Chain A
Amino acid sequence: MLNSVHNQILRFQVIVSYAIIFIFCGIPLSSVIIHSFTTNALSSDIAFVGFRNYLSIMQDGVFWQSILNSFILLLYIPVLMFVGLWVAIYLREGFALSGLYKGIIVFPEIIASLTVAGIFSCLFGYRGPVNALLELFNIPPLYWLGNKSSAFVVIILCIIYTSFGWQTMIFSGALTTVPQEISSLIKVDGVRGLNKIKIYTYEIRKTIYHSFLLNLIYGFSSFFSIIYTLTKGGPGYNTTTIDYLIYLRAFKYGSDLSSAYTIAAILFFVVMTLVTILYNILFGKRADL
């Protein structure tokens, strides 16, 4: 008797969870996809227009610029992963105060990226310390955030700041599975520098693949608050990434809902492709890569 009551409770909770996911994630998602194939999202008589929205997005210069900007932003991945692996190898070898060091690099994890971006916008402000430092070397002060390439440098530094600890800890977690014999061999044979990194890269290649994919997925979508705080997508559309463009089209001046829905749908398809690859790496036939 009790058993069946308890089973009912359990089943009820499962149904409620999936109902919440369905109503507040599933339905919005399908509405994004449906709206990307129909006319003006606000009017009540919705007409199917096929790929017309997609075609008009394709002719939109700002859209292509934002795609390009999203790809520029992804430049943080090689830097982050390389330095992360490098430091993780040092952590495995061990050094004085490495416990304190771990505590320091994990710390940015808990700070909101908006807060980090706020600090960085002061650091790289016109009257900020970076310019003051440059002045010591007689370099004239720069408008860091007023210029496309230097704005991207600041944004990428900010992203690396927020993700460095996470990436390093993932790699150093993966390195604990590498057998001790390999480290001993490296030591005995005196393998140095890049060669050492190469060997470890090979040993933990699966973690590297999937954290590369995770970074790609995050790179397309998780740095909204950084861009919002540092540049607001500007100057012009120079640092507007694809996720920021959705926000601009949906909620800002001259909002254009059907283009916002279409861009959202495109971003969804891109992310889903990456997620499928990630799923295959984690659980697919190549899981034992």
Chain B
Amino acid sequence: MFIERMIKLIVVFLSALFILYPLFFSVVTALKSREAYVESPLGISLDSMSLDNFIKITNNFDFIHKMGNTAFVVITSLIIIFAFSIPTAFYLCNMNNRVTRNFLTIICFSFMFIPEEVLILPEYNLMSKLGLINNFLSVIIIFVAVSLPECIYLLYMYFSLVPNTIINAARSDGATELQCLKRLVVPICKGPILVVLFTTGIALWNSFLIPMLLLHDEDKKLLLPSLSGLITKHSTTPTYQMAGLLLSMVPLVLVYFIFRRHIYEISINGSMH
């Protein structure tokens, strides 16, 4: 029994260390000077600790501007995605024709899993034909198109859990379909909707391939592609890199602490029993 407990302790401790150490390392390194890092990459040097790297990077790199670009693209996409996926999911739930309904949900289910690398080449060609390269609109359109199937599908799964009797009662009281959606289904499913919103938002904020290929101009680049440029450019100055990587995490960490309770729900509901 004692050995059992020790194993448990070791597994839990090591896995937590595995997750925490890289984060700890990046914070410590970002606070160091380059010389201190070369001298001992492992150590913490309290005396040379400074925010120099962060100040330098915000001055040279225009972080705020890039975060603004990303926030604009992600929030616009999210608004469009939810304006269309919520009603579509609701409509699918109330469809009487089973064959059409299954067909429409299977479309969403399949497109959910198609890798972005498969579609990126024709999408790029389409956008260059439309003359939208270097335009935020191209990224927004593709973000919406890629996320819609997943959002529709997940919301459909959640909405179909709402008991039909409630909606039918509202209907017989003379509520229109849109009112049923707005006054009943959305408030009841507020939690799941937030969860889907949160996961989609994170996925879009962290997506890399699409914005990298579609936006080239320096003042239009999104956060992650320019971060990748930073990693390549300063590969010999880890202190500088780490400061950049940490700054890029800040908005997500803030969102994480606001939504922390819901993240557990995501993971548990994610197993879809």
Q: How far is the CB of A199 from chain B (nearest CB, A)?
A: 15
If over half of B's interface residues share one DSSP class (helix, strand or loop), that class is named, otherwise mixed; here it is helix
Residues A267 and B117 in contact, CB atoms below 8 Å apart: yes
Q: Which residue of A lies closest to B270 (CB)?
A: A170
- Do most interface residues of chain A lie in helix, strand or loop, or is the interface mixed? helix
A-B contact count (CB 8 A): 265
A251 touches B145 (CB 8 A): no
Task: Kindly identify which residue among B16, B38, B228, B245 contacts A101, using a CB–CB cutoff of 8 Å.
Answer: B16
Query: Is B114 within 8 A of A129, CB to CB?
Result: no
Contact in complex: A25, B119 (CB < 8 Å): yes
Please name all residues of chain B whose beta carbon is closer than 8 Å to the beta carbon of A25 when the two chains form the complex: 111, 114, 119, 145-146, 149
User: What is the bound-complex CA distance between A190 and B160, given in angstroms?
Assistant: 42
- Which of A43-51, A52-60, A214-222 contacts the other chain? A214-222
Q: Is A9 an interface residue (CB 8 A)?
A: yes
Among candidates B29, B42, B228, residue contacting A114 with C-beta atoms closer than 8 Å: B228
The contact of A122 among B109, B120, B122, B241, by CB within 8 Å, is B241
Q: Is the CB of A246 within 8 A of B118?
A: yes
Q: What 1/0 flags go to B178-213 for Cβ under 8 Å of A?
A: 110100000000000000000000100110110001
Taking CB atoms and an 8 Å cut-off, the chain B residues in 134-190 that contact chain A are 141-142, 144-146, 148-149, 152, 176-179, 181
State whether A86 and B177 are in contact (beta carbons under 8 Å apart), knowing that A107-B19, A119-B245 are contacts in the complex.
no
B42 touches A129 (CB 8 A): yes
Query: Cβ of B126 and Cβ of A28 under 8 Å apart?
Result: yes
Residues of A close to B227: CB separation below 8 A: 114-115, 118
Q: How far is the CB of B242 from chain A (nearest CB, A)?
A: 7
Tell me, in angstroms, the Cα distance from A279 to B272 when the chains sit together.
Answer: 12
Contact of A16 among B84, B106, B111 (CB under 8 A): B84
Roughly how many angstroms separate A164 CA and B17 CA in the complex, as a whole number?
13
B46 in the interface (beta carbon within 8 A): no
Partner of A222, one of B12, B115, B270: B115
- Cα–Cα distance between A83 and B115 once the two chains are bound (Å): 26
Asked if B99 is at the interface of the complex by the 8 Å CB criterion, the answer is: no
By a beta-carbon cutoff of 8 Å, the part of chain B in contact with chain A is 4, 8, 11-12, 15-16, 18-20, 22-23, 25-26, 29, 37-38, 40-42, 83-85, 87-88, 90-92, 104, 106-111, 113-126, 141-142, 144-146, 148-149, 152, 176-179, 181, 202, 205-206, 208-209, 213, 224, 227-228, 231, 235, 238, 241-242, 245, 248-249, 252-253, 255-256, 260, 263-264, 267-273
With A17-B85, A115-B249 given, can you name 15 additional A-B contacts, CB distance below 8 Å?
Answer: A7-B177, A18-B107, A27-B122, A86-B11, A95-B12, A106-B263, A110-B252, A110-B255, A127-B41, A164-B18, A222-B115, A257-B121, A264-B119, A271-B118, A275-B110
